[in-house]
Structure 1
Amino acid sequence: MGLTRLLMISGCLILAACSDDQEDIQAWMADQEKGMVGAVKPLPEMKTFPVVSYDAEGLVDPFAASRIAPAARAQTTGGPDYTRRREPLEAYPLESLSMVGVLMQGDIVQALISVDNVLHQVRAGNYMGQDFGVVTGITETEVALKELVEDTNGDWVERTRTLLLREQQE
């Protein structure tokens, strides 16, 4: 019973402290408001702009379906010949092949191609590289190739590449 009596007395004291007498707080707030002055700058006056009318009557509509032309397609070819016998240098990507020299026997020019420390002789018409590259020309400094690659539309497109003499690559 002593505990309940203690709780009742403390509850009464707490309620007595929360009285409606808040005059000192109200006076302090009024005193603080006297010193506060709002200092907001007025908005600048809006500039007026001349009215421009846009008359698109008779002009070409850039979003019309007739304006959308199909993309220009590169000249395509029928694709590689899968029935011909593959040559040894077609097993390697062109980047792994190195031209190390040229052999000339009369009017026949052959390039010396090194791959995996093995030397191969190629002449115009031979195939090399993994993109169906055919040798189109050989000079003292480079081998010219014409490759067939498949584009994003599934068409075969010819691409020219060159394999430079090793001294020029470094």
Structure 2
Amino acid sequence: MNRHRIETIFLLTLSSISISGCGGNGMSELEAYARSINARPPSPIEPLPEIKPIETFVYVPGERRDPFTPDAQAMPPEPVIEDNGLAPNPNRRKEELESVPLDSLRMVGTLDQDNMRWGLILTKEGIIHRVTVGNYLGMNNGQITNIGEDAIQLTEIVSDAPGQWRERQATVALTQ
């Protein structure tokens, strides 16, 4: 109990010394500075900038064009799109290898079975798929037209412009 009392007295003494250090001559200098600042005359407030009036305009149509419709003379003519009749079938069910880019597929061989030739295609995942003439490969609507000993040939339908399509030939060659 005695020790607790000594600690309390020590803390009270230390607090009173700390508080007494806050007073003194330093405050009188601060008060004098604050009085000198308050004694200055206030600086004038700058006036607000003058707002210029905006001239109004009343639209009277007369022979003027409607401002909310495009001007036929200012608009470039729309290009005439000739339909060549070539387009991929959007209703055709997509085959598995149509979601794989053509350059990531590799031909690894052929298989002749029941008077039919099959091409063997290897994907990057290491899966071998069996394809024949008429199947589709790649992401450009490529349909297999011929399976040879050393390559699979296909015809792709690619877009030249919106609504315009053309055919191009592609090949997946045999890799060793």
TM-score range (shorter-chain normalised) is 0.5 to 0.7
Structure 1 stretches of at least 4 aligned residues deviating more than 4 Å after TM superposition: none
Give structure 1 stretches of 5+ with no counterpart: 1-74
Name 1:124's counterpart in structure 2.
Answer: 133
Tell me the CA shift for residue 122 of structure 1. 0.2
CA contact (8 A) 1:77 1:158 kept: no
CA-based RMSD of the aligned residues comes to: 2.1
Work out the CA distance in 2 between the residues paired with 1:94 and 1:76.
Answer: 26
Task: Please point out which of 160, 167, 170 is paired with 2:169.
Answer: 160
1:105 and 2:117 equivalent? no
Give structure 2 stretches of 5+ with no counterpart: 1-82
Tell me the CA shift for residue 107 of structure 1. 2.3
Work out the CA distance in 1 between the residues paired with 2:104 and 2:85.
Answer: 26
Task: Please point out which of 98, 121, 126 is paired with 1:90.
Answer: 98
Work out the CA distance in 2 between the residues paired with 1:112 and 1:76.
Answer: 34
1:1-170 → structure 2 map (5 Å cutoff) = 76-115=84-123, 116-152=125-161, 154-167=163-176
Tell me the CA shift for residue 105 of structure 1. 1.3
Higher mean C-alpha displacement, 78-87 vs 145-154: 145-154
Work out the CA distance in 2 between the residues paired with 1:128 and 1:154.
Answer: 22
Indicate the percent of aligned positions where both proteins have the same amino acid. 40
Aligned residues: 95
